[in-house]
Structure 1
Amino acid sequence: MKYSQNILGTIGNTPLVKLNKVTSGIDALVLAKVETFNPGNSAKDRMALKMVEDAEADGRLQPGGTIIEGTSGNTGMGLALVAIIKGYKLICVITDKQSKEKMDILRAVGAKVIVCPTDVEPTDSRSYYSVSKRLAQETPNSWYVNQYDNPSNAIAHYEQTGPEIWRQTEGKITHFIVGVGTGGTISGVAKYLKERNPNIKVWGIDTYGSVFKKYHETGIFDENEIYSYITEGIGEDILPKNVDFSLIDGFTKVTDKDAAVYTRKIALEEGIFVGNSAGAVIKGLLQLKEHFTSKDVIVVLFHDSGSRYVGKMFNDDWMRERGFLEEELTKAEDVIKDHLDKPLIVVRTEELVSHAIERMRKYKISQIPVIDVTGFVGSVDESDLFRSYVANKDVADKPIKEIMGKPFPIVKLNTPIEELSKLFTKENDAVLVDLDNGNHHIITKSDIIGSIK
């Protein structure tokens, strides 16, 4: 009989799958190493087990101890499986930008999850780096994994992932492309492959808001490059020891939007349901196409499962809110179709300025049409109120008609976007749309900007 002693015995030996449609334009054989076939559905299972076993071997992790780690979710899942089988407790410290699915899965497999803010400096006491270290100091019989600097991370991929790729391609691989986060995957695989064939090229996929690409090219750690981004699992605001830049031939950066869009393309065009970093890898591959020939064999690595992003990249509303959904907007109706249910907030000519201010605060809006019994007769926006207040501190008690501006232009639902855009000027920040049912809707400059793809 063939069976594993426990779930950890199923880690590794993930398949290579030829990509056919999503790589259109690449004149080479492109193979995806689909790591979602690991039991924890990600490449991180490999290094999670290796890090725990090495810590057990040298005494850093004692029986019945508590494993503590800062994670974007996937390492936490791998550690959770190991902790279950080996009898350890697990505390995962995660950032608030990670998907709810990741947090729910971690809790489902017994991990205690602590959520920290994303947009803070690594040295900030609230960062998930700092919180992880503090918990390790405060928790008796605990071990802080530190996947970023733990050499077992890269060793796991040197011992497992690299050899698998080499065997599966029969040594014909010419390029390896993967997203870079902790650096363990790219460094471990690159070391193994380059030992077998120094001519193999290794490319890292970075994201905007991360420091890797510039540091690799210039040796400069530019803090100005660090800002919050959406893409999960790749990029860093630190330089992990596991990123061996000497083994990496180059980086390319991929935008949040492209990563999200191509994550969905992989599912729709290849039937492979994988995560956010996979989309970044495919877009990065396309950006690098001038480096490849028809004789090349390219291996890309898909880190994790799309099931962890169902509420994000695979959710139309989430994509639309961020301007990531590729929808063609041609007329006024397209701009307002997602919020037609919102009522038009208005103010009457005889109401006080204070009423308009109160309405702006309540509904978080910047422009309000002004009406009387005849219809729309004026408008009020923040700049009007500001100028009026500077001129007269008692303006709040005056009627709206004394400070209102010209009424907003009114257009039909089928007005082309090009004509609609021309109505926005320095003096005019909004347009009203006639809904053909006696009601109107407002379009602001922010709505137009938000519709730009």
Structure 2
Amino acid sequence: MAAVHESVLDAIGGTPLIRLARLGAGIAAPIYAKAEFLNIGGSVKDRAALSMVLAAERDGLLKPGGTIIEATSGNTGIGLAIVGRQRGYRVIAGVADKSSAEKSDILRAYGAEVVLAPTAVPAEDPRHLFNVVQRLAEEIPGAWLANQYDNLANPDAHIRTTGPEIWEQTGGRVTHFVAGVGTGGTITGTGGFLKETSGGAVTVVGADPESSTYGGGDGSPWYVESIGHYLHPDTVEDRMPQALRTELIDSYERIPDREALLAARRLSREEGLLAGPSSGAAVAAALRVARRLGPDDLVVVVLPDSGRSYLSKVHSDAWMREWGFLEEAADGLRPLLDAAAPLVTVAADATVGEALEALGDAPGGVAPAVLARAARPYGVAATEVVGSVSRAALAAALADGAAKPGDPLGGLIGPALPTVGVGQSAADARTVLGKTHRAVMVLVDGRVAGVLPREAVA
């Protein structure tokens, strides 16, 4: 008989384990997914939201008529909106501008006020999402900043609920626990409980975007929301979340964006589980782990949120092609890209002379201008391109005395070049070029893989 609840808050938790029989076919170790998207707000963050609000009330930090404020990629804000509105609070969610539009729409539907702010700026920048919500918390009387990254009530939710549920559901047979690492709350709380209860027998594995600093990446942007640790090249002090206990994580599986996104799509099409991209990253990691194990092992992986929040992204064929994650079309740009000259980029903080020297090899005499020190081991993410630099424009500025070789590029940086995914066609490239652009950037897995001049796609 289905459970009956007196409040929507009583329906948080108690999510099922579902075996990934199709994705795990041929693998000796069984893989079970903890379907956290079946929480009332659609994500694992409902647990942390309820835990943090109740703790703030107990500690006198949140009082009747107060305001809950949080910086969020979306899911924690949704959980706080549900819990907060049920308990009579105003809720303001500062949402990262890279988050899917669906999440902001959901937040508003639950009665939260949404403030969009960037995260792809240095941590010290006053425009940064965390600084924006901090100012709001200081300015609004009776406001409480949830601060999920440093709030220990976040992992405590999983010590009390998620970990015990998994232990009971597997009859204590779980040997490996796999989860994405964002704030660290889920993997710290659940992993910590499972390790302690099993006497250290459970192995905890973090699923991390390939370029995230948690697993040893360079901190450059990725396209799987809600997990990983980004490091802007101009950030002075990089802080780790206090909710994360790294000593509890035995190893990381570093998952490229394409592997994560395609795994999320397989989850929906093969297992009937419409989950988000961070679920794809976690499942990709779990599959890697399980292939190294035997039939006496049992892997549990967390599926953090629903794919309904990403219908315009990972579950959209058009979006996947535009960002270079799908290239199954026979008329794609891969042959043209392979034949193109090596990619040339110019650092936005270069001098005019340095830029001219770099542009000597640039197709079409134009190159993307990228964030300072953005020469990353994994290439330049499209989101790190801040404009374009033209050889003709720089030469003209030198000729008429408007600039000198030692001057910074500054106002000589022009608009960014248009982009096209490697799986799109030459006709698509011509469309985005329009009548004015000299060249187009070709994206592979969300990163600039090359520049094609207009004549190459004519």
Please state whether the residue corresponding to 2:69 is helix, strand or coil. strand
The answer as to whether partners of 1:117 and 1:127 remain within 8 angstroms in 2 is yes
The equivalent residue for 2:271 is: 270
The answer as to whether partners of 2:265 and 2:314 remain within 8 angstroms in 1 is yes
The equivalent residue for 1:226 is: 219
Q: What is the TM-score with the length of structure 2 in the denominator?
A: 0.72
d(CA) in 1 for partners of 2:270, 2:36: 18
AA in 1 matched with 2:225: E
The answer as to whether partners of 1:329 and 1:451 remain within 8 angstroms in 2 is no
Please state whether the residue corresponding to 2:57 is helix, strand or coil. helix
Please state whether the residue corresponding to 1:212 is helix, strand or coil. coil
The equivalent residue for 1:101 is: 102
Please state whether the residue corresponding to 2:215 is helix, strand or coil. helix
Superposed CA deviations along residues 34-66 of structure 1, whole A, max 9, x for unmatched, are: 011110011111111111011101100001100
Q: Counterparts of 1:421-440 in structure 2 under 5 Å? A: none
The equivalent residue for 1:41 is: 42
Task: Give the deviation of 1:123 after TM superposition.
Answer: 2.6
d(CA) in 1 for partners of 2:334, 2:248: 52
d(CA) in 1 for partners of 2:25, 2:227: 24
Distance 1:384 1:289, change over 3 A: same
Q: What is the TM-score with the length of structure 1 in the denominator?
A: 0.72
d(CA) in 2 for partners of 1:307, 1:383: 42
Task: Give the deviation of 1:101 after TM superposition.
Answer: 0.1
The answer as to whether partners of 2:24 and 2:30 remain within 8 angstroms in 1 is no
AA in 2 matched with 1:207: P
Q: Counterparts of 1:349-364 in structure 2 under 5 Å? A: none
1:179 paired to 2:180: yes
Q: Counterparts of 1:152-167 in structure 2 under 5 Å? A: 152-167=153-168
Distance 1:32 1:451, change over 3 A: same
The equivalent residue for 2:229 is: 236
Task: Give the deviation of 1:271 after TM superposition.
Answer: 0.6
d(CA) in 2 for partners of 1:81, 1:246: 33
Where structure 2 has 5 or more consecutive residues not aligned to the other structure, the ranges are 231-238, 338-362, 366-388, 401-421, 430-436, 451-458
1:207 paired to 2:209: yes
Please state whether the residue corresponding to 1:202 is helix, strand or coil. strand
AA in 2 matched with 1:268: R
The answer as to whether partners of 1:181 and 1:233 remain within 8 angstroms in 2 is yes
Task: Give the deviation of 1:267 after TM superposition.
Answer: 0.4
Distance 1:388 1:193, change over 3 A: closer
d(CA) in 1 for partners of 2:84, 2:13: 18
Aligned length: 361
The answer as to whether partners of 1:39 and 1:45 remain within 8 angstroms in 2 is yes
d(CA) in 2 for partners of 1:229, 1:147: 21
Task: Give the deviation of 1:228 after TM superposition.
Answer: 2.1
Q: Counterparts of 1:250-289 in structure 2 under 5 Å? A: 250-289=251-290
AA in 1 matched with 2:65: G
Task: Give the deviation of 1:21 after TM superposition.
Answer: 1.9
Task: Give the deviation of 1:325 after TM superposition.
Answer: 1.5
The answer as to whether partners of 2:364 and 2:438 remain within 8 angstroms in 1 is no
d(CA) in 2 for partners of 1:335, 1:241: 47
1:249 paired to 2:250: yes
d(CA) in 2 for partners of 1:145, 1:181: 16
d(CA) in 2 for partners of 1:256, 1:290: 20
d(CA) in 2 for partners of 1:322, 1:6: 42
1:110 paired to 2:111: yes
Q: Counterparts of 1:85-100 in structure 2 under 5 Å? A: 85-100=86-101
The answer as to whether partners of 1:16 and 1:32 remain within 8 angstroms in 2 is yes
Q: Counterparts of 1:283-322 in structure 2 under 5 Å? A: 283-289=284-290, 291-322=292-323
AA in 2 matched with 1:212: Y
Please state whether the residue corresponding to 1:204 is helix, strand or coil. strand
Distance 1:109 1:249, change over 3 A: same
Task: Give the deviation of 1:295 after TM superposition.
Answer: 1.6
d(CA) in 1 for partners of 2:319, 2:395: 39
Distance 1:23 1:60, change over 3 A: same
Distance 1:136 1:292, change over 3 A: same
d(CA) in 2 for partners of 1:43, 1:391: 57
AA in 2 matched with 1:4: H
d(CA) in 1 for partners of 2:114, 2:398: 54
Distance 1:444 1:105, change over 3 A: same
Task: Give the deviation of 1:244 after TM superposition.
Answer: 0.7
AA in 2 matched with 1:162: G
d(CA) in 2 for partners of 1:138, 1:106: 22
Superposed CA deviations along residues 154-178 of structure 1, whole A, max 9, x for unmatched, are: 0100000000000000000000000
Please state whether the residue corresponding to 1:213 is helix, strand or coil. coil
AA in 1 matched with 2:29: A
d(CA) in 2 for partners of 1:126, 1:332: 37
Distance 1:384 1:113, change over 3 A: closer
The answer as to whether partners of 2:324 and 2:443 remain within 8 angstroms in 1 is no
The answer as to whether partners of 2:85 and 2:91 remain within 8 angstroms in 1 is no
Q: Name which of structure 1's ranges 123-132 and 307-316 shifts more when overlaid on structure 2.
A: 123-132
AA in 1 matched with 2:223: I
The equivalent residue for 1:14 is: 15
d(CA) in 2 for partners of 1:103, 1:131: 17
d(CA) in 2 for partners of 1:115, 1:236: 19
d(CA) in 1 for partners of 2:141, 2:131: 18
The answer as to whether partners of 2:174 and 2:202 remain within 8 angstroms in 1 is yes
The equivalent residue for 2:29 is: 28
Task: Give the deviation of 1:263 after TM superposition.
Answer: 1.0
RMSD: 3.4
Task: Give the deviation of 1:227 after TM superposition.
Answer: 2.1
Where structure 1 has 5 or more consecutive residues not aligned to the other structure, the ranges are 215-223, 337-364, 368-381, 394-416, 418-429, 434-441
Q: Name which of structure 1's ranges 14-23 and 281-290 shifts more when overlaid on structure 2.
A: 281-290
Task: Give the deviation of 1:448 after TM superposition.
Answer: 9.3
Task: Give the deviation of 1:196 after TM superposition.
Answer: 1.4
Distance 1:143 1:23, change over 3 A: same
1:52 paired to 2:45: no
The equivalent residue for 1:144 is: 145
Percent identity over the alignment is 41
Superposed CA deviations along residues 235-265 of structure 1, whole A, max 9, x for unmatched, are: 1244111111111101121122222111111
Distance 1:168 1:289, change over 3 A: closer
Task: Give the deviation of 1:292 after TM superposition.
Answer: 1.6
The answer as to whether partners of 1:123 and 1:129 remain within 8 angstroms in 2 is no
d(CA) in 2 for partners of 1:447, 1:230: 16
